[in-house]
Amino acid sequence: MKILIVDDEPLARSELDFLLRNNPLVDSVSEAEGVTEAKQKLMTDQPDLMFLDIRLDDGNGMSFAKFLKKEEKLRPYIVFATAYDQYALDAFDVNATDYILKPFEKDRIDETLKRVDRILKKPEALVNSDMSKNPRLSVTVDERTIIIKKSDILYLEAQNGNALIYTKNLPLITSKQTLINLEKQLDPEQFLRVHRSFLVNLDMILEFQPSFNHTYELTLINGTKITVSRSYVAKTKKVLGIG
């Protein structure tokens, strides 16, 4: 695959370039210092994947990603590569493929490249559909892969760039995978996003009741209460069959 690195720090670009070029899935790597140069590179190099920093000298990576979301001809898959974890939830809004924190780890980069390679070889809708129908969820924790029965999951939470997975029987599972990526592996008919930070297993919902400031609250079968933010209230009511 062809990759573009967009970062205003030469050292960060060099480090990431080294990790990428040593991966057999990578055909070429180009670099850009900021948004202006990145736009030119997108036109000339037509990369499949872009590693994008958030704070750039001539702009904001998140704003640039929002711009690219509307540009069908220019839009590569986007992985945010940044030192800041507070933007992980915003990455959901621009359909980012992944969100990686500096300093970079080879295993983490390789994992992302494998995922993008699978997507490039198969239409994304089919990839997501296949994964979402699998009754088990594969979660990367440190250097291990934990297999979880999806039917045992109570809910998932995004926190500081990580995904927290709460189940009926297992201890809390914390993964460096983002909630965005895990959501793609979950059946949308079974798991509902009720907040930018929460995905809930519909079978685990016991109560739905009004809260304050035009929000609502879910009570799960284990007593956990989760806020339904205003922007998700209408969809939640519809899915739950509440008039």
Asked if 130 and 108 sit in the same domain, the reply is no
Asked if 96 and 159 sit in the same domain, the reply is no
Q: Is the pLDDT of residue 42 over 90?
A: yes
Asked if 57 and 6 sit in the same domain, the reply is yes
Instruction: Supply the range of the domain harboring residue 142.
Output: 126-240
130 phi/psi in degrees, rounded to 5: -60, -45
Q: What CATH code is carried by the domain that includes residue 54?
A: 3.40.50.2300
Q: What CATH code is carried by the domain that includes residue 148?
A: 2.40.50.1020
Asked if 186 and 219 sit in the same domain, the reply is yes
- Picking from 195, 216, 199, the residue whose alpha carbon sits closest to that of residue 207 is 216
Confidence of residue 8 (pLDDT cuts 50, 70, 90): very high
Out of 106, 121, 136, pick the residue that ends a domain. 121
Count of domains for the chain? 2
Q: Each residue of 151-207: pLDDT tens digit?
A: 999 999 999 888 999 999 999 999 988 888 888 889 988 999 999 999 999 999 999
Out of 78, 105, 121, pick the residue that ends a domain. 121
Asked if 115 and 175 sit in the same domain, the reply is no
Q: Is the pLDDT of residue 141 over 60?
A: yes
- Dihedral-angle region of residue 142 (phi above 0 means left; psi in -120 to 50 means alpha; beta otherwise): left
Q: Return all residues near 231 (Cβ < 8 A) that are at least 6 apart.
A: none
Asked if 55 and 132 sit in the same domain, the reply is no
